[in-house]
Homo-oligomer: A and B are copies of this chain.
C-alpha cells in the first residue's frame, strides 16, 4: 500500500466491474436452444466469444485508421464462433444476431460493485476506462445502476487498450497527469500497460471471472499500489466512507 492518493479512478469494466461470463452464458442459452444446440455449454460459448476479443482489439489497433467500436468486433467474433460450432450465421438471421450481440450490454455487476463504486465516488471521480463502446457502457450502466462520472477509455481515445493512448487520453481528458489517475482492474496485463504509462494501479481479485479457471495473464503480475478482494475493500483502503 502507498500513502500517495490518486485524483481520479479509471475502471476496467469486463471482469472487473461486471461478470461477463455468467451474463453472456445466460443471454446466449435461449439462442443456442432455439438453434437446437442444447449440446453446447453456454459458459464455454461465452469463453469462446471472449477469447476472440483480445486478438480482435489488437488487430484493430495495428490496422489503425478510423476507430471501429467493440460492438462491431463482437459481432464478427460471434459469427466466427458460430461457424466453429458448425452454425452458419446466415441461418441465424440478421435480427437475431444483432440482438444476441447486445448480450454484452446486459452484464450483471459483481455483488459488491454498486455499493463499492458509490462509496468510491464520494471521494474520487470514477470513470470507465474500458474497451467497450459508449453505447455498450451506457446500456450496461443503466442495466446495472453503475454511477459513472464519465464514460472514457477506448472509443473516446480512438485506441483499444493495451495501447498507451487509451490510458493517456483518459487522464488528459480529466485534466490529470497520468500519475494522478489510478487504474482499477482485475487483470495484471491491463495494470502493467497502465503502469507503463505512469498510472497508479489497483488490483481487484475476481477469481470467478472465468468460472474459476486461472487468469491467462498471471505472467504480468507485479506488486500493485493497492490490491483488494472487492470494491468495498478498495473503498476502505482509499478512505472512502
Which residues does A use to contact B, with CB under 8 Å?
71, 125, 127, 133-135, 137-138, 141-142, 148-152, 155-156, 173-175
15 further contact pairs, Cβ within 8 A, besides A135-B174, A150-B151? A125-B138, A127-B138, A133-B173, A133-B175, A134-B150, A135-B173, A135-B175, A137-B150, A138-B149, A138-B150, A138-B174, A142-B149, A148-B150, A151-B151, A156-B156
Total copies of the chain:
2
CA distance A148 to B141 in the complex (A): 11
Known contacts A151-B151, A156-B156; decide if A173 and B134 are in contact (CB<8 Å): yes
User: Are A71 and B155 CB-contacts (below 8 A) given A125-B138, A138-B125?
Assistant: no
* Closest residue of B by beta carbon distance from A125: B138
- CB of A180, distance to nearest CB on chain B (Å): 12
- A172 CB → nearest B CB, Å: 9
Complex CA gap A89/B190 in Å reads 44
When distances are taken between beta carbons in the complex, the residues of chain B under 8 Å from A148 are 150
Chain B: minimal CB distance from A96 (Å): 18
Shortest Cβ-Cβ A-B pairs, 5 listed:
A135-B175, A134-B173, A150-B151, A138-B149, A138-B150
What are the residues of chain B within 8 A of A173 when measuring CB–CB? 133-135, 155
24 contacts across the A-B interface (CB closer than 8 A): A71-B175, A125-B138, A125-B142, A127-B138, A133-B173, A133-B175, A134-B150, A134-B152, A134-B156, A134-B173, A135-B173, A135-B174, A135-B175, A137-B150, A138-B149, A138-B150, A138-B174, A141-B149, A142-B149, A148-B150, A150-B150, A150-B151, A151-B151, A155-B173
Which of chain B's residues has its CB closest to A173's CB?
B134
